[in-house]
Structures are given as C-alpha cells and as structure tokens.
Structure 1
Amino acid sequence: MANRLAHETSPYLLQHADNPVDWWPWSAEAFEEARRRGVPVLLSVGYSSCHWCHVMAHESFEDQETADYLNAHFLSVKVDREERPDVDAVYMEAVQAATGQGGWPMTVFLTPDAEPFYFGTYFPPAPRHGMPSFRQVLEGVRHAWSDRREEVAEVAGKIVRDLAGREISYGAGVAPGEQELAQALLGLTREYDPQRGGFGGAPKFPPSMVIEFLLRHHARTGAEGALQMAQDTCERMARGGIYDQLGGGFARYSVDRDWVVPHFEKMLYDNALLCRVYAHLWRATGSEQARRVALETADFMVRELRTAEGGFASALDADSDDGTGRHVEGAYYVWTPAQLTEVLGAEDAELAAHYFGVTEQGTFEEGASVLQLPQHEGVFDAEKIASIKERLFEARASRPAPGRDDKVVAAWNGLAIAALAETGAYFDRPDLVDAALTAADLLVRLHLDDRARLARTSKDGHVGANAGVLEDYADVAEGFLALASVTGEGVWLEFAGFLLDHVLVRFADPESGALYDTAADAERLIRRPQDPTDNAVPSGWSAAAGALLSYAAHTGSEPHRSAAERALGVVKALGPRVPRFIGWGLAAAEALLDGPREVAVVGPSAEDDGTRELHRTALLGAAPGAVVACGTPGSEEFPLLAGRELVGGAPTAYVCRRFVCEMPVTDAVGLRAKLTP
C-alpha cells in the first residue's frame, strides 16, 4: 500500500512511495501532526541518483520491522534536496557544524517546531566500522525524547541560536581588485596537483567553476600559469574514466586522484558547466580535444537528458542492472576483456583493450575496467578506433540503462541553456541552439507565472509546488542572457531582466546588498539560508552577481551594476582564503575588472554573411564576461544597438568598455583585436 509520497512529483520521493514507512512530504501539516502526537520528527534528505540513499532505503526503509518502529515513535518526513535546496542547506549546515562532515542521505531528528537536536548521514542496519545501527539510533533518540525532553529542547534551542548567530564575512560590499584575484590564483597554485591535474586529493570533483576563473584570468592578464592549470586539468579529465569515452558526458566525481574510477551518476549541472568550460577552452586555445569534448558532452545532454517537453532531466543513476538481476554501480559503463571480445572479435578486442586500458585485473570491481584514453592517441589508426567506439556504443545501448530522474530543475536548465547556446554558436551547430531555445521556452511557459516568479521544478509537463530559490533566478537569467547574445533575440534579455528584478527586490538585503538563498516572502525555516560558496553548482550569490553584471552591461542599468559590485564584496573577503570554493564569484570579478566589454553588431539582416561573421567573431572574443547584441540599425530589441549605424553601408561592430566606446570596425580582424585584452 502506497504512503503519502505517492501523490508527489519528485522521482526521489516516488521511489519511497511504496515503503512501509509512513512518510510525509515536507509540509506544515506534517509538523502539526508531530505536535499533536507528541513525537519527534525524522527528517531524511536525499536525491534520486544518490547511491547510499538507495542503500539505506533498501536496508532500513523497506524493512517492515524498522518501519513499524518508526511509525510508532516518530513522524517521518522525506525531502528531495534537489526540489528543496533551502531545507537541505539549513539542516546540512547544522549537520556539518555538529559532526564536522555532511553528505547524503542526511538523517536529522527534529522537534515538532523543526528544531534539530541529533544528526547523521548514512546509518547501517547493524553496527559496523564504529557506526551504530539505525535501530540503535532510533532507540536512543526515542528514549532521550521520552526521558529527557527538557534536555532535548535545550540542545535544539542552542543549535538554532548558534545557527542564527553565524555571520558571513562580507567584505563590506566592496568588489575585489587585482590584489585579491592574484592572491586567489596563488592559493589555487598551492592546492594544484601538477601530476594529475585538479585540486586536492581523492575524491576529485571536476573544478568547472575554478577553471572558468582561470580561463578568464588568463584572457585578461596573460598569466600562463592559469591557462596551464586549466588545460592540464581538462586534458586529464577528458582522458580519464570520469569522462564517458563512448557516449560523452562526465560522471559526478572520481573516487581516486587520477580520474580513473568515477562515481558513475551523471548530473545535468556537471555536464552543462563542463560543456561550457571545454567550449571556452577551445575558444582560448583551439584545442581539438576541447572541441570534441564540448560537442560530445552537448550531444550527450540532448540525447540522454532531454525530456519529451524539451527541458533537461536532472540526472542518470550510478547503478543499473548488470544483466543478472543485480543492481550494481557502474554496470552500464564498465568492460571486461571477455565482453570486448564478444562484441568486437579477438583481434579488434585486443586493440580496444590496449587503447582503452582494459585489463584482466581491471581498474574497477570484479575484474571490470573503466574506459580511459591513452596518452598518445596518434599511434592508433583513427578510422579503426572510430569503428570500435561505434560498435561498443551500440552494444552498450542494449544493456539495462541507468534510471533517469526526469524532473526539470530551473537552475540546472539555465546552465544547460547557456552551454548549448554557446557551443552551438561556436561550432556552427544550430541544432544545439534550437535545443537551448526549446528548453528556454519551456521555462517561460511552465515555470514562470504572470508575475515572473519562478517555480523550482517541473515533471512531465506539470509544474511543481516549490518556489524557485536564488540559484534558479540567477542561472536561468544567465542562460537567457547567453541566448540573447547568440540568437540576437532581445526577448531573452527582457525575460532575464524580469528575473533579476526579483533578485534585487526579494533576495537582496536592502541595507548591505548581501544575498539570501530564499526570497523574503518564502517559507520561513529555522534560519534563512545564505551561502556564497560554490558547491556542486555555482552559488546563487555568485551566479546572481555575474548575471546582474551582464544585464547591466547590456542595458546600462546602474542599480543592477551597483548590486553586482556590492554582491562581489564576498569574493573580496573569501577569494584569497578559499578560492576553490568561490570560483564562479572570481570569474564574475574578472568580468568586472575587464569592464565587461559591450559589443554591438549591426548589419542589414541576421542572414547577411558579413553580419554573421562579425557576430560570430564577437561571440568568440576572449574578453571576460563580454556581452554581445546583434541586430539591424534602429532595432529596439537591445539597448546596445541604439544609435548604431552601418559604416559605409557595411556591417559594423561597436565595442565599449567602462563608458568609453572605441572607433567602430567593419572587419573581423579589427573586431578580434578589440576583444583581446
């Protein structure tokens, strides 16, 4: 018999709809019921492609005896962190403060007033490795609640007060300058892994936001060390097992320092960010590998994550059926020598094993290997390798596929729109631009209401009930701004403006200019979440600063530029200290220091060859954060086009920077020179 989660739209919550646990979704009614019964609340937070969330569900939440105990002594609330990042953020902050670490599944015990008093992540069904069993935890919490209620309330109250007293080092709202960015670069150099690329040790996550900063810093200053770190990291990731060598796209992270064995889930946000990073790396260097990876990653997103409605699904699971009925992590992606032989025959299998690093011992589990690329591809016959890859890809497609989380998250679709629009424009792939346009249209039609308020998610064409958070407004605005530059359609600039006006009015502190993750009129939690640091995705704070800056460059809006500069004060404070965790903010600061440059291209029509050449040259300009408007003289779609005329009857480009405009140019070479710092 299904529980209350059967009425939800979240794929993660629906995975638990048949549990014997009497789950409630997060709601005021759930806490009211806990108050009526006089029981504590078990808050369990996870997401659909989380491996250990599935493990704990199978071990504990599907177990009738455990469920009976929970139902008798607790009120159980299940939350999808991807639908409610605000709830996740507030309680994850408490978990990390109390235990020094965090992760998912997140297990928190609350009073009926939603105040936390006991924390954890995964708990096993039996004691192991120094961890108590889940049943032991439940019994301990139950007895504390029954026998020491006043003590529990005192602990919960102290935790809430401690959280409320935490302040963010804000830098007095002053944007960073050359000194802070140089210190950030030095800090990244210290943490860089010169042998393997990337930063720090295992596990290694793709540092997409830091790479964006490094590319912009090199473009603005010429610092070769910044470019080298970006290039080497991208190359090592592209050759490693974290990248899908057959189908394109990146896994979530590498469990080792060498990028060999990934955690196999594939997230939309990672692939959107990395697609754009590799496209920008190609723009900076002309690297053929970067071009290939950008296009393959874009094609992966369209092929495997695009939904029937034209949006992009959140994720693919790490686990899948291995063909014997077992649900195994990585089963869809790994190969043994015997499997290669079965598909390719002995001779080609030997070549494939040598090329992809497949051995009898294996690099993963049970003698299987994750495919990698050799350091010297040139010694292999390119046509033969292409044939082998195609045959392996087709054979892999017959395996049981990983599950897909089909919910459309506004913020992550905004990142995908930006990546697909730019990649399509750079490499003359109008189909990718069309995919970006279709996704953007879905967000406008389904996620935006008549007040331009944004819903966080949708699924199967039905909008979810959860309000958008700061990252949704900021990342969707970023996607719309990229789309406006690529397509020359000013309506996307207009929609971006609607969203950013909400940021100014509903998410910004009117006194300091600091930004909150939730709107002023959003559901009140025990703390209004506010985090300027990047995690798996750019922080809403940094993303908003970047989008506000770009919009101001397009429109000349002083309030938007001032808000961006004030928001970047946090980068001044944190950039030199923790540069790995504020890369998107550092990238926005690079754009601010460069201007950003404003490029207006006018021509007799968008189809005119000369106009198209100037437009593409503008998009390929290396200047950090440059904005591009393209249209006909007298067009009212973009403020940057006002008063711009053809010079000598020819398509013409105008470049301005910090309120100063240079002489117009009519040739691509001249425009390229004006966009080179």
Structure 2
Amino acid sequence: MASNELGKSTSPYLRQHADNPVHWREWSEGVFAEAGERDVPVFLSVGYSACHWCHVMAHESFEDEVTAAYLNENFVCVKVDREERPDVDAIYMQATVAMTGQGGWPMSVFLTPAGEPFFCGTYFPSEPRHGMATFRQVLESLVGAWRTKREDIDKVGRSVVEQLGARGAVAEGAMDEATLERAVALLKVDFDPVDAGFGRAPKFPPSMVLDFLLRNHRRTGSTEALEMVAQTCERMARGGMYDQLAGGFARYSVDGQWVIPHFEKMLYDNALLLDVYTQWWAITEEPLAERIAVETADFLLAELRTPEGGFASALDADTEGEEGRYYVWSAAELHDLLGEDADWVVDLCDVTGTFEHGTSVLQLRRDPDDLGRWQKVQAVLRDARRGRTYPGRDDKVVAAWNGLAITGLARAGVVLDKPEYVEAAAAAAELVRDVHLDGNGILRRTSRDGVAGSAHGVLEDYAAYAQACLTLLGVTGEPSWLELAQTLLDRVLEQFVADGIFYDTAADAETLIWRPQDATDNASPSGVSLAAEAFTTLASLTGSTRYEAAAQQALQLSAAIAARAPRFAGRALAVAETIAAGPLEIAIIRGPAGRVDGSEGEVSRGAGGGGDFAGLLRVAVKESPWGTAVATGLPGSRVPLLEGRGLVDGRSAAFVCQRFTCRLPVVLPEDLRGELKTTL
C-alpha cells in the first residue's frame, strides 16, 4: 500500500493530514497485519484538530518530503484523532506518561506489530532545539534498534503492557458525608485567594469542581464554597480566557491571572461552563452570571452549531500559522478603528501588549461605565474581526460532548427563559438519536455531515447522552426520552460493567492491548462519574433499586480520587452531593394549555385553563438543587414518577417528592417555591 488514506476519513483532524506525503493509515487491525508482514514498527501519531503543536509538528515533519519518505520506508504510519478514539488515546497516553514522566499532544508512540509500545514521546522538532533530539534522529535510532536489538524491543513492549495491566486495579471507597466535607476543605487549601481558581499556572476552568461547590452550598449553606465559585467565575469571565466580543471560553489560561489564553475553544468546556454560570445565577441572581450564561449559550448556537443541528467539537487556536491571531489587538489597531473611543477601550480592556508582537487579548476587569458605548465598540470590533481569517472548525459531532451541551442548554433555556435554547437542545438530541444509534443499539461516538463514524461510543458517550435525554424528559415532557435513556443505560450495565468495575469500552467493542478504565474527572467528566449521575437520575425517575445500586457502585470507584485529589473528582463529588441531599424528585402534570418549552406563554389561573405549567417548570429547575430529577407530562403518562398523578381542578400541578414519597400537589409557582424551601 503506497498512499495516504486519510481523505476518506470522517474526522476533520485526519482530513487535515490527507495531503501529507506520509502514507497515513487510520487505526485498524489491518495496520498491524501490514506491519507484521513487512516486519517494521508502527508509528502512531495522536492529536486533535485544535492542537497548536500538532499543527507545528505536521508542518515541520509530516509535510517534509524527505522525512515522509523515511517514515514510509521504515514504518507503518497511523494517525488517530484522540477525540474520535479516546480509548486508543487513553491506553497509549498512559504508556507515554509511564515511560517518559509526562504526556501531551501530539503524542508520538512506536509500537510492535502486536500493538505494544516500546518508545513514546510527544512533540519532536525538526531541528535541534533546547537539547531535544530531532524527529529524524529519533526515527533513525529506532530503525537501527529494530534491526539490531529486536529481542530487547519486544521485551520492552511486553513489559509495558504488563505494567499497564497491573495499574488497572481499582481502589474503592465510600463517597460519604466525610468525603464531601474533606473535599471542600482540601479545595479551600488549593484555592488561589488572589487570582481565584485552583493550583498554579496554567489554569484550566474548574467547571466540575465549581458545580460541586455550588451543590454543596445549596445543601449546607457553606459561604466558603459559594465564595470560591463567585471569585473564580468572575475572574474567568473578566479575563482574557473569555471572548469579550462574541462569548465563549478558550481552553485554559497559560498564566495564573486568567490573562493569556490557549486560544482553542472546546465544546465540552463551554457546555460545562454554561451549566456552571446558569447554576450560579439560579442561586444568586448575580447579573454577571446571567450575562455570561446567555453569551456562552449564544456562542454555542452561533459558532458551533452544525447544519444538521448538532454541535461541532472545537474552534482552532491558530489562524494563518499563528496562535490567537484572530482574537488579539494592538493599541494602534484600536485607534485606527475606534477613533475617540480608543483610549477608553485601551484602558477598559487592559490593552498593554501582554501577548506576542505587542498585541493583547481583550479583558473586561470591570463593568463599562457606559454600556451603550461599549456595545457600540463591540459591534465595530466584531465587524473588523470578521475580516480576519476565521479559525478552523472541527465540525465532527461527538456524542458525549453533545450530551453535555444538550443538558446545559436545556437547563439554561428554562432558567433564563430562552426557549430557543431548549429547541436547540432537542434538535441536537434528535441528531444523535437518528444518526449515532445503529440498528443494534450501539451508539457511535462521532458523526460528520450527518454520517456516523465507525468508532463505537465509549462509556462517556452513553452516560452523557443518557443524562441529556433525561434532562429533556423534564423540560419537554416527551416520554420517549426516558425510554431511550433506559435503553442506553441498560446497555452500559450489560457491556461496560464487569466485576463491579465500569470500563471505558464495551465488551463487544474492538479488543485493544488492555481495556481502559479511569474514574478521573479531568478536562471533561469521566465516563464513571457521568454514569453515576445518569443512573442516579434514572433511579429517581423509575424507583429502580438496580439503577440506584449502579450509581453507588460507580461513585465508589471515584471515592479514592475524591478523598486525596478532589480537583480531579468534581463531577463525582457533585453527584454525591445530589445523593446526600435526597435525592429530590419533582413531578409536574401538565394541563391542556401548558407549554412544554419552558417559555412563559399565556398564564391562566382559571379552573379549566391549564394553569401555569411554565412557571412551575421554571421554579422546579431554577430553585431546586442541580441533580434534581424533574419529570413532566400529561395525565396518564407512562413515566413511573408521574404515574397515578393528575391535574388539580384541571390545572397543572407539581409534586415535590423524595424516594417516591410526595407531598400534596401545588398549582402556583410561589407555592412550589415554598415547598422547595421547606424541603431543602
């Protein structure tokens, strides 16, 4: 085989490499068969579309004819999109960290024809730099070793696989009240009292930890928990990591003050942060929280929504070969564009040349003293920015990340009275249902242009999408979302759980050198903690002890991480907070005039007018703890939580319940608000 095969891929990242002179293959069993037949190693290169250094290494080495010819002659070369194949990425990233002490992307791994790693690294320069070996030096050294020390290479590969397998032992523990208290105390120690956030630079948005702290505050009244959230959310929103012109958060801040971002914008970050800012506003009604939640949701709809109704994975950091070029400004540019407003904006947005070439990202450390003037400036700068080269968009739809976006948009649509968000959430859920689910009940991880990719969904896909379906059940009253979620989670129990361990891959998926499982909440929630959340919600809606036990088992797998490093167990801790608080259930029976999109609509308080369904729903979502199971539907609904419940004098009625024991129904939003205050 003597050609680059990536032009057929559904992954935009792989397609970016379709014109490389390297004879790239996609990951498949045939790759390793070819390597065995040729008796050459496999070169595995893993990256993703928004990765800056992936682009650098591609330009320096993979586009170079001489380097490509050497690779083609001596290796079988495989490109993997880590977002499309997180299972492959997880396995070989663990090997990379174990062998080198660090990891990152691009990840460069050299494998035997059995798939065993014998040499790992990340970025290798094309020219000598900072004492690093060049990529060509690495290749030549490995080719020499392959020819003269083959027995040693095979031994190293087998040893690495054995050690990785040994690391698979799972530590269990109790996720109890003491764990939650200890987590808050440890987070307080790790909190930056000056610049907010946790730990040192680089600072990543701690969305799952903030979610936990907000739920903890709601249950315990902890002012310390709420203050850590408020300070962190404000610093992130006012700094350079947030796009002050069009909304949306960058991946992280390279400094400890939230000034200079790493510029790619990821769907999962913005989906999670949308949920955090919505929850912060629901608790405090802080104006900044509402503004950022609305702008973040609008960013998702404006810049990441695909023509099919799903949400794209990311926007690149680079344009025209430079990181951040689309987003930064110089003082001179601002004077040319803004005239007499320029000095005001330079001061307001701290344009002091903090980035490369004397440019700056825009910050907004305080609210403008003249909002109308700022809005006029924003419009001018947005218009000017449209003349720049727009960042590349990775437009593949990832099931898990769309699940996070669906959940965040559905809640925000109700809480913020934005029915268009609910509509967008439902459309994305329908796309995943119609395109990603095959006839055998298998969920595909990705799609592009309405065509499903070949990679099977991993645990996070099933769990995040199932939770999204359960959220939509509460917001839309459509019982088919419950049926779909139950089907997905039943498959999780059948295919992803063995001997009490939740694995990241299904038993009937491709067999890899070992079966990955990881309960760590990192850049996005782990499949384990997402499963704990979805099973908790499903148990609340159905009363099933089987699902309740599954949630508890999943949480036990996260307990050891939560006890020693709560920053890496934020979603699991948030779920534990939900369980510690009840969990709470709210059943709302919708009258004939009730609307299901969460909008206010026309409210009738007459006995036969249907009542204020939208008002009841908004109170239920906004004023109950995040994690509360909300179910809505018409009288006679087949949703278990709604069974046996009806209208009150022909009007919509809400029932506040815990473990299927419900209080008397209420028909007025203010009465539901009172019920929740006495319950919590």
In structure 2, C-alpha distance between the alignment counterparts of 1:557 and 1:667, rounded to whole Å:
30
The answer to whether the aligner puts 1:489 opposite 2:483 as a matched pair is: no
1:126 equivalent in structure 2: 127
1:269 equivalent in structure 2: 268
Query: Are the structure 2 counterparts of residues 603 and 32 from structure 1 closer, same or farther at C-alpha, using a change threshold of 3 Å?
Result: closer
What SS does the corresponding residue of 2:45 show, helix, strand or coil?
strand
Q: Is the CA contact 2:504–2:527 (under 8 Å) kept in the aligned structure 1?
A: yes
1:619 to 621, 639, 649: 621
Shift of 1:649: 4.4
Q: Give the partner amino acid of 1:527.
A: W
In structure 1, C-alpha distance between the alignment counterparts of 2:233 and 2:401, rounded to whole Å:
21
What SS does the corresponding residue of 2:428 show, helix, strand or coil?
helix
Q: Is the CA contact 1:284–1:622 (under 8 Å) kept in the aligned structure 2?
A: no
1:631 equivalent in structure 2: 633
1:341 to 313, 332, 335: 335
Q: Is the CA contact 1:344–1:388 (under 8 Å) kept in the aligned structure 2?
A: yes
Shift of 1:591: 1.0
Structure 1 residues 368-398: Cα deviation after superposition (integer angstroms, max 9, x where no partner): 01000023x25x1111111111111121112
Unaligned ranges ≥5, structure 1: 322-326
In structure 2, C-alpha distance between the alignment counterparts of 1:609 and 1:526, rounded to whole Å:
59
Shift of 1:516: 0.3
In structure 1, C-alpha distance between the alignment counterparts of 2:6 and 2:398, rounded to whole Å:
19
Q: Is the CA contact 1:623–1:675 (under 8 Å) kept in the aligned structure 2?
A: no
Shift of 1:433: 1.0
- Name whichever of 385-394 and 608-617 sits farther off: 608-617
2:179 equivalent in structure 1: 180
Q: Give the partner amino acid of 1:294.
A: A
Q: Give the partner amino acid of 1:368.
A: T
In structure 2, C-alpha distance between the alignment counterparts of 1:445 and 1:209, rounded to whole Å:
29
Q: Under a length normalisation based on structure 1, what TM-score does the superposition of the two structures give?
A: 0.96
Unaligned ranges ≥5, structure 2: 596-609
Query: Are the structure 2 counterparts of residues 306 and 2 from structure 1 closer, same or farther at C-alpha, using a change threshold of 3 Å?
Result: farther
Q: Give the partner amino acid of 1:202.
A: A
Structure 1 residues 623-676: Cα deviation after superposition (integer angstroms, max 9, x where no partner): 24111112232222x221111133354432111113432233333233223334
1:353 equivalent in structure 2: 346
Shift of 1:246: 0.3
1:502 equivalent in structure 2: 491
2:598 equivalent in structure 1: none
Alignment of 1:90-129 (within 5 A): 90-129=91-130
Structure 1 residues 87-129: Cα deviation after superposition (integer angstroms, max 9, x where no partner): 0000001111111110000001100000001110000012221
1:427 equivalent in structure 2: 416
Q: Percent identity?
A: 56
Q: Give the partner amino acid of 1:421.
A: A
Shift of 1:320: 0.8
Q: CA RMSD, aligned part only?
A: 1.3
In structure 2, C-alpha distance between the alignment counterparts of 1:93 and 1:83, rounded to whole Å:
17
Q: Give the partner amino acid of 2:425.
A: A
1:374 to 365, 386, 399: 365
Q: Give the partner amino acid of 2:44.
A: L
1:383 equivalent in structure 2: 372
Alignment of 1:142-541 (within 5 A): 142-171=143-172, 175-321=174-320, 327-345=321-339, 347-359=340-352, 362-375=353-366, 377=367, 380-509=369-498, 511-512=499-500, 514-541=501-528
Shift of 1:572: 2.4
Q: Is the CA contact 1:594–1:624 (under 8 Å) kept in the aligned structure 2?
A: no
- Name whichever of 610-619 and 293-302 sits farther off: 610-619
In structure 2, C-alpha distance between the alignment counterparts of 1:675 and 1:254, rounded to whole Å:
38
Q: Is the CA contact 1:169–1:573 (under 8 Å) kept in the aligned structure 2?
A: no
Shift of 1:68: 1.1
In structure 2, C-alpha distance between the alignment counterparts of 1:597 and 1:451, rounded to whole Å:
34
Shift of 1:425: 1.1
Q: Give the partner amino acid of 2:438.
A: D
- Name whichever of 596-605 and 366-375 sits farther off: 596-605
What SS does the corresponding residue of 2:374 show, helix, strand or coil?
helix
Structure 1 residues 332-357: Cα deviation after superposition (integer angstroms, max 9, x where no partner): 11111121122222x11111111111
In structure 1, C-alpha distance between the alignment counterparts of 2:655 and 2:533, rounded to whole Å:
22
Structure 1 residues 488-536: Cα deviation after superposition (integer angstroms, max 9, x where no partner): 2121111111111111111011x32x20000011111111000000121
What SS does the corresponding residue of 1:568 show, helix, strand or coil?
helix
2:25 equivalent in structure 1: 24
1:324 equivalent in structure 2: none
Q: Is the CA contact 1:474–1:543 (under 8 Å) kept in the aligned structure 2?
A: yes
Shift of 1:571: 2.8
Q: Is the CA contact 1:276–1:422 (under 8 Å) kept in the aligned structure 2?
A: yes
Q: Is the CA contact 1:276–1:419 (under 8 Å) kept in the aligned structure 2?
A: yes
In structure 2, C-alpha distance between the alignment counterparts of 1:129 and 1:420, rounded to whole Å:
46
Structure 1 residues 289-310: Cα deviation after superposition (integer angstroms, max 9, x where no partner): 1111011011111101111111
Shift of 1:609: 4.6
Q: Is the CA contact 1:337–1:358 (under 8 Å) kept in the aligned structure 2?
A: yes
2:541 equivalent in structure 1: 554
In structure 1, C-alpha distance between the alignment counterparts of 2:563 and 2:357, rounded to whole Å:
44
In structure 2, C-alpha distance between the alignment counterparts of 1:373 and 1:630, rounded to whole Å:
40
In structure 2, C-alpha distance between the alignment counterparts of 1:236 and 1:176, rounded to whole Å:
31
Q: Is the CA contact 1:533–1:582 (under 8 Å) kept in the aligned structure 2?
A: yes
Q: Give the partner amino acid of 1:197.
A: A
Structure 1 residues 271-329: Cα deviation after superposition (integer angstroms, max 9, x where no partner): 111011100110011011111101101111110111111111111000113xxxxx211
In structure 1, C-alpha distance between the alignment counterparts of 2:181 and 2:350, rounded to whole Å:
39
Q: Under a length normalisation based on structure 2, what TM-score does the superposition of the two structures give?
A: 0.95
Runs of 4+ residues over 4 Å off in structure 1 = none
In structure 1, C-alpha distance between the alignment counterparts of 2:632 and 2:671, rounded to whole Å:
17
Q: Is the CA contact 2:543–2:660 (under 8 Å) kept in the aligned structure 1?
A: no
